Amino acid sequence: MIYLKTSVGIELRGEDMLISSLQSNLSGGVFTHFLRIPGYRLREKADLQKEMDFFFKSNGISRENIVLGIPRQDVVLRYLNLPSEVADNLKQVVHYQVQSYEPVEGERYYYDYVRIDKGEEDDGKKLTVLIAMVRKTTLDDLLALLRSVGIRPVTVTSSSIGLANIFLHNRRIVENKTFVIGDCGALSMELLVLRDGLLVYSREVAREKEVEWKDLLLHEIDEALSAIRLDQEATLEKIVLAGESSDAVRDEMMTVTTDCELVKSYMDVDVPSVNLSRIQEAAASLGLAFTGLVRRPSMKLNLLPPEHRIHQSRWGYVPAAVLGTAVVLLLCGLAFHNIAQDRRLADRLDREIQQLTPSVERVESLRNQTEEMEKRIRAVEALVNNTDANLEILRELTTILPSDTFLNTYQYRNGTIQLAGLSNSASDLVPRLENSPLLKDVVFRGGILKDVPTGKERFNIEAKLER
């Protein structure tokens, strides 16, 4: 399959490194490859580089678009509520705030920020900013290690930001709702609260051996909802679980609530069968890859130092523009070719139709003549059938009517027989006619009248033909 763009998410999760490849085609993103490297910090650099080189080269994965997710414990998140008047100088205001968080002497921080309000708080009089910070020494050491094995990320962010981005991408699901996402690792859990499409809470906590997952999760949810001051009218929509321990956590949670699901149900990516069993474990690294794949992620935070960022000049887009133009021209040529081919085919069909028109008209004339002849045949058959019926009825009447009975009128039409005449005893005629195998439903039409000149009874009888 041909993929148009590739993004790789690398999550540093405890002592392990998780790598997910997300590649896009015309139908959307596809989770193509996954690798988990245990204890990457303790590995020899040569062995680590060999394993990573094999992963990228054997699968044909590009390293040009790598998003690195650092552990939540290394990232400091701060929420600032500021007056809307500072919007024009927001960058400088955030810089001053970060300086106030740093010690007077010692550690410095790399940072980035993003507005997470919708301009609705206090009727637009305030704005909310999320600041992400990481110690300079911590990130420099991680970047040096990755560069030594051939990895140069274009974006560095918190792994939880990537997880939030892939979940928030489906705006229809999260609009005006509150979700809790639990990223369940082997020994710890990070809890995220997403409210109305915004990340409003994040906290990581270690799990003690004697504490069950559900007790830890329920406690952290209570803490989170208390911290964000959830309105009494608002409700928690769902608890969504990710991470390698998510299946076990869900099994425990199902004993107390049914509003608990796995994050894979909310991921808008195609997953080949070979990676289905990995999607929960790879959720955060997939979110990082997703952040690098889409043009506008929900939260765009990049902690990578400016001196390490790739600034592509306008000339760098020339090859892509040329290639895109060539593809467009080829598609246009193919479209015109198909149109011209269809036109030629239509012209040929028109000529063949014109050639066949006289033959078709002759066939149509013969068919009309045949239909007319069939109508005449049916009319003659009907006439013959009626004549045969009349003869048979008259023969039957001659047999069953008494000798003192005379018919003045006989009429047969559409299966109905009308008889009128004179008889010494007209009332005896109906039973005689009913006993005939040819007649049924024999009834008098009108009363029996005395005919004075002859002394007989005048009758009018109607009957139906039996067959």
Q: Is 237 exposed, middle or buried (0-12, 13-18, 19+ CB in 10 A)?
A: middle
Average pLDDT over the chain, rounded to an integer: 87
Minimum mean pLDDT among 125-139, 347-361, 382-396, 398-412: which range? 382-396
CA–CA dist 319, 302 (Å, integer): 27
Using CA atoms, how far residue 28 sits from 197, 267, 269, in Å, is: 22, 12, 7
Residue 223 to residues 216, 239, 320: CA-CA distances in angstroms? 11, 14, 50
Provide the pLDDT for residue 188.
Answer: 92
Instruction: State how far Cα 199 lies from the chain centre.
Output: 26
Q: Is 133 exposed, middle or buried (0-12, 13-18, 19+ CB in 10 A)?
A: buried
User: String of b and e for 281-302 (b: at least 16 CB within 10 Å)?
Assistant: bbbbbbbbbbbbbbeebbbebb
pLDDT at residue 120 in the model = 55
Average pLDDT over residues 308-320: 61
Integer Cα distance of 90 and 172 in angstroms: 30
- pLDDT category of residue 384 using cuts at 50, 70 and 90: low
DSSP letter for 152, please: -
Q: Which of 211, 257, 246, 202 is nearest to 71 (CA)?
A: 202
CATH classification code of 401-465: 3.30.1360
d(CA 195, CA 178): 4
Kindly report, residue by residue over 21-43, the tens digit of the pLDDT.
999 876 568 999 999 999 999 99
By residue count, the chain amounts to 467
Cβ atoms of 243 and 284 within 8 Å: the answer is yes
Contact (CB, 8 A) for 194 and 181: yes
Extract the tokens encoding 280. Answer: 């929960």
Higher pLDDT, 322 or 344: 344
Q: Is 135 helix (H, G, I), strand (E, B) or coil?
A: strand
CA distances to 17, 162, 266, 408 from 147, in Å: 15, 22, 34, 123
Does the pLDDT at position 231 exceed 90? no
pLDDT confidence of residue 123? 59
Question: Average pLDDT in the 101-110 region?
Answer: 77
CA distance 61 to 167: 24
Instruction: Write the DSSP assignment of 352-365 as a string of letters.
Output: HHHHHHHHHHHHHH
Q: What is the mean pLDDT of residues 149-176?
A: 88
The answer to whether 129 and 80 are in contact (CB under 8 A) is yes
What DSSP state is assigned to residue 270?
Answer: B
Give per-residue pLDDT as tens, 315-328: 545 665 777 788 88
> pLDDT value at position 307?
84
CA 235: distance to chain centroid?
27
DSSP assignment letter at 120: -
C-alpha to C-alpha distance for 157 and 134, rounded to whole angstroms: 9
Strand 406-413 to 188-195 pairing = unpaired
Contact assessment for residue 33 and residue 20, using Cβ atoms and an 8 Å cutoff:
yes
In DSSP notation, 198-258 reads: EEEEEEEEEPPTTS-HHHHHHHHHHHHHHHHT--SS--EEEEEEESTTHHHHHHHHTTT-S
Q: Where are the domains of the chain?
A: 1-76+135-169+268-311, 315-400, 401-465
pTM: 0.66
Q: 422 pairs with which residues across the strands?
A: 406, 458
In CATH terms, the fold of domain 1-76+135-169+268-311 is Nucleotidyltransferase; domain 5 (3.30.420)
Q: What is the DSSP letter of 195?
A: E
